[in-house]
Amino acid sequence: MRVLGLDVGSRTVDAVWLEDGAAAESAVLDAGFAPQEVAAELVARRPVDRVVATGYGRHAAAERFGADVITEIGAYALGASRLFPEARSILDIGGQDTKVILFAAGGKVADFEMNDKCAAGTGRFLEVMARAFGVDVGEMAEEAIAADGSVAVSSMCTVFAESEVIGLLHRGEPRARIARGLHEAVVRRTLSSLHRVRARPPLVFAGGGARNAALVELVAAGIGGHVLVAPDPQTVGALGAALYGAALRGAAPLHQQAPEKEDI
Amino acid sequence: MSDAPVDYRPMWTDLGLDLEAHDLLLTAIPQLYADAYLSQQDRPEGMAYFDFVMSEIHGLRIKELVDHKAAGGTVIGTFCVYVPEEIIRALGGVSVGLCAGAEWAYDQVEQLLPRNTCALIKSAMGFKLGKVCPYVESADLVIGETTCDGKKKAWELLGEYAPVYVMELPQMKRPQDLAFWREELDRLVEKLEEVTGNTLTFEALQKATKEVNDKRRALQRLNAARAASPAPISGKDALLAVQVAFYDDVPRFTEMVNKIADELEQRVASGKGVATADAPRVLITGTPMSVPNWKVHDIVEKAGGVVVAEEMCTGSRYYDKLVSEDATTLEGAMDALAVKYLDVNCACFTPNQGRIDDVLRMAKEYKADGVLHYALQFCATYQIEATTVERSAQEAGLPVLRVDTDYSMEDVGQLSTRVEAFLEMLKA
Ligand code: SF4
Ligand code: SF4
């Protein structure tokens, strides 16, 4: 059976094609201003028996392509659990939202947390700050890693933090230290979410944030252990959606047992 | 219920409403209502009464209040379930709940109140400042209370625009607090006697107590039916019944709700429901939801869940306890009121273990699969107490979703995702 998993986000539209339970192809396209058009392009790319949509545009995709739907939360847990069967938690730092999910063997969600409407702690927060520095997010992350220390940034509100950062720059604080402070602020917030859902290791890091080496380093330090970075971090949701579709027809075994571990 | 359109505009003008702004409000509410309510399948037939009430929310009911006043009666506005409507009723007054559930005139409100004030307070203020609420404009007296800090201080400012009387509510439930509260009720009687020109008698108070108890009994019946699976009525419809209980005519409301309860009992007997038997069942606990705030119920039910109970002031806290009808003297009847009214489990109290107990008991009674904790943003008492509620529910094996929100629609997309994920989790 051929299933297409689509993650229709506000920034990118991601796709994973499964054939008889194995990933056959994947794609990450820029959503532009018409994510559903981008999705349509992906739907037309290969013949499939079923489409499952997740992400911000899942309901619109359901209407347009007759897709089944699953939330990002459910999809990420399934995807992460497929990539790392021993994993029990996932952290996803995306462009607009951040989520942490605790799951049981096979990707069954046990608890989750997602940021509310504000951008604090998301990829967007770092983007706004990078703009204040006049660099891109990747450069800012490199500076943060190379920094010889950090300056505490206390404000998590994007608007206040931006003026705090500008104030720090005016005071002559080195940019690299501020950059590190900003990454630390995002990670601090993430860690408290992880604690609230009682996340357990091994922890999978996914979403655009997982490509930010400074975040990966700080999250690992924060949990005092190793993080599993998804190889293709932006397609974890699409993979989960496709797996969900395969299971709907009873084709793929989603539940495998593995021993439980201690809290992070 | 005649079909001839009635022109209420002269009445609204007399009440001092801003007609232009009011027109805007009156186009918004039916749209919201149609989208949340009329789109539902298999509603109990008796809900037609509430469709009618909603279509006449600023019409017929206001006309009744105006007529009541013309005949020498009074209208008394309240903001909290601690204010005993029995006393108001026994003195010939009609009690109307003034809490509002929509953002209105925030530009004017934010000149008086800080932005980080809860939506309930801001909108109550907005409806007054924007002159769009015929209920507050009809009120001879508005009763505030010293529950949370936000309300307490907002009354001082509201007092510049309306006749406000503030009751002091204790923050604990020790014997000395009950004694104080009992005296506070005497002071309320004194104030209301002055405003209504009537004197409180034992007979009138007993009659009012009986009538209001009957209203609560009807709501208890309606809600008891929700324990069945499949649920015979949507959470949205059940919520609406309690919302309307705050301002509708008491005997008529009781009769209509009893009719709906009859219908629901038949539905339960024949296994008919509004949702499938495997729809995840959600208990909502938290801050009150006033008309037209149906946001979270709507999200849950549109996502395929069913709300089976509300532990909130527009829910069980309003109807689940009765006032003892055994008193033989006015003193005794007042004592009974004091006892029942202090026994509301609001987060403004400390400690507030009673609320935790209620949540756990109700979750069991209504066979809830999960608990949604609902708090208005900037409501310190409920947002803080959410931690205890969450912990206790999780210990009892109930998954919890915490929703902190306001009346705006900005976060509906995000909230829907969280709610859908929560329902997926309950189903799995
Ligand atoms: S939540 Fe508390 S303050 Fe608000 S109406 Fe209920 S009892 Fe009153
Ligand atoms: S919701 Fe909270 S802050 Fe708002 S009036 Fe009620 S108790 Fe006060």
The residue extents of the domains of chain A are: 1-84+234-264, 88-229
Point out the residues of chain B with pLDDT beneath 70: 1-4
Q: Which residues contact B359 (CB under 8 A, 6 or more apart)?
A: B283, B285, B311, B371, B389, B392, B393
Query: Whole-number mean pLDDT of chain A?
Result: 88
Instruction: Tell me the pairing of strands B141-145 and B281-286.
Output: unpaired
pLDDT value at residue B5: 74
Helix %, strand %, coil % of chain B (to 5): 55, 10, 35
Q: pTM for the complete prediction?
A: 0.91
Q: How far apart are CA A142 and CA A229, in angstroms?
A: 18
Task: Please give the interface size between A and B, counted as residue pairs whose CB atoms are below 8 Å apart.
Answer: 39
Backbone φ and ψ for B296, nearest 5 degrees, come out as -75, -40
Torsion of the alpha carbons at B215, B221, B227 and B232, rounded to the nearest 10: -100
Contact B128, B162 (CB under 8 A): yes
Does the beta carbon of B97 sit less than 6 angstroms from any atom of ligand 1? no
Side-by-side strand order, sheet with A50-54: A22-30, A12-19, A2-8, A50-54, A68-69
Q: How far apart are CA B347 and CA B388, in angstroms?
A: 11
Query: By three-state DSSP, how is residue B175 classified?
Result: helix
**Which is nearest to B185 in space by CA: B374, B336, B350?**
B336
C-alpha distances (whole Å) from B44 to each of B40, B301, B307, B309 are 10, 16, 16, 17
Look at the domain A88-229 and name its fold: Nucleotidyltransferase; domain 5 (3.30.420)
Of B405, B410, B424, the CB nearest to A71: B424
Query: By three-state DSSP, how is residue B340 classified?
Result: helix
Q: How far apart are CA B295 and CA A234, in angstroms?
A: 32
CB burial string B257-280: b at 16+ within 10 A, e below: bbbbbebbbebbeeeebbbeeebb
Look at the domain A1-84+234-264 and name its fold: Nucleotidyltransferase; domain 5 (3.30.420)
Residues with a CB atom less than 6 Å from ligand 2 = B 118, 120-121, 147-148, 150-151, 287, 348, 376, 379, 381-382
Q: What is the pLDDT of residues B112-164, one digit of tens each?
A: 999 999 999 999 999 999 999 999 999 999 999 999 999 999 999 999 999 99
Q: What is the pLDDT of residues B221-239, one digit of tens each?
A: 999 999 999 999 999 999 9
Q: What is the pLDDT of residues A209-259, one digit of tens each?
A: 899 999 999 999 999 888 999 889 899 999 999 999 999 855 444 433 344
A254 at interface of B, judged by CB pairs closer than 8 A: no
- The protein residue whose alpha carbon is closest to atom 5 in ligand 1 is B80
Q: Which band of pLDDT confidence, cut at 50, 70 and 90, is reported for residue A262?
A: low
Q: What 8-state DSSP symbol labels residue B128?
A: H
Q: How far apart are CA B130 and CA B111, in angstroms?
A: 13
Q: How far apart are CA A150 and CA A144, in angstroms?
A: 8
Instruction: Tell me the pairing of strands A203-206 and B141-145.
Output: unpaired
Question: Of all atoms in ligand 2, which is nearest to the CA of residue B378?
Answer: 3
pLDDT value at residue A40: 96
**Which is nearest to A199 in space by CA: A219, A229, A184?**
A219
End-to-end CA, chain A: 38
Helix %, strand %, coil % of chain A (to 5): 45, 20, 35
Backbone φ and ψ for A63, nearest 5 degrees, come out as -65, -45
Q: For residue B381, count other CB atoms closer than 10 A to its CB.
A: 21
Contact B311, B287 (CB under 8 A): no
Cis peptide before A202 (omega within 30 of 0): yes
Does the beta carbon of B381 sit less than 6 angstroms from any atom of ligand 1? no
- Whether the per-residue pLDDT at A81 is higher than 50: the answer is yes
Arithmetic mean of pLDDT, A45-74: 95
